[in-house]
Amino acid sequence: MDYLDHVSPKVCLTPYEEGITSLEIESRIWEEDTDDYLIIGRGLGYIFENPFDDDILDDLLDMVSSDTYALHGVLTKTEKGREVLESAVTIVYIHTLKLKEEYRGKGIGLKTMKFVVDQFACGLNLILLHPAPLGMCVGEEGRDIAIKKLEEHWSKIGFQRLGTSNVYYLF
């Protein structure tokens, strides 16, 4: 079966705090046998509305988790990060997208992420993607190879790596 033809991603938004919306992503395929969708992957993230003020954004990111707070440091460290951050009206931050193992390597993750990007690509939205921490998956030797693969993979739908960080952005 060509799963890619049967992928039907779904995005669910839930208010979290003032200025923050929780983002849930489902990667699903249609199963004709059961006449229903099978969830084959899930993703999570947040949407930060109107992050104009650095202090406000800092507080919002800190409110969500230490990971999103650390993201602010990554964004403000580089000139490109500050430039992109200052231009954004809305920040969409996706910190997790995980598919069941048997569905990986078939383009389903890219198709799911492309769907999410298309939902938020209008206007001055900054979409941030933070793939799994590489240190957990590969040794130091394989880290550079893994980073190169990630860059090639996510660039297929327009993401660029932010400096030397593990954060990818689309603006």
Q: What is the pLDDT of residues 94-126, one digit of tens each?
A: 888 889 999 988 889 899 999 998 888 776 678
Q: Which of helix, strand or coil describes residue 52?
A: coil
The CATH code of domain 3-170 reads 3.40.630
Please give the order of strands across the beta sheet that includes 168-170. 10-17, 20-31, 36-49, 90-99, 125-129, 168-170, 160-161
Predicted confidence (pLDDT) per residue in 38-87, tens digit: 999 999 988 888 665 666 666 666 666 666 666 777 777 778 777 777 77
Helix (H) / strand (E) element for 161: namely strand 160-161
Which of 22-26, 87-91, 150-154, 161-165 holds the top average pLDDT? 22-26
**Does the pTM exceed 0.95?**
no
Side chain identity at 160, as an amino acid letter?
A: Q
Reduce the DSSP state of residue 131 to 3 states and report it: coil
User: Could you tell me what percent of the chain has a pLDDT over 90?
Assistant: 20
Query: Above pLDDT 70, what percent of the chain?
Result: 80
What mean pLDDT value characterizes the chain? Answer: 80
Query: CA 28, 5, 93: angle at the middle one, nearest 5?
Result: 45
Q: Which residue do the tokens 């389903």 mark?
A: 108
Is the model's pLDDT at 7 over the cut of 70?
yes
pLDDT number for residue 47: 87
pLDDT band for position 1 (cuts 50, 70, 90)? low
The residue ranking higher by pLDDT, 40 or 153, is 40
Q: Give CA 54 to chain center in angstroms.
A: 21
pLDDT for res 135: 47
pLDDT over threshold 90, residue 33? no
State how far the Cα of 52 lies from the Cα of 59, in Å rounded to an integer: 12
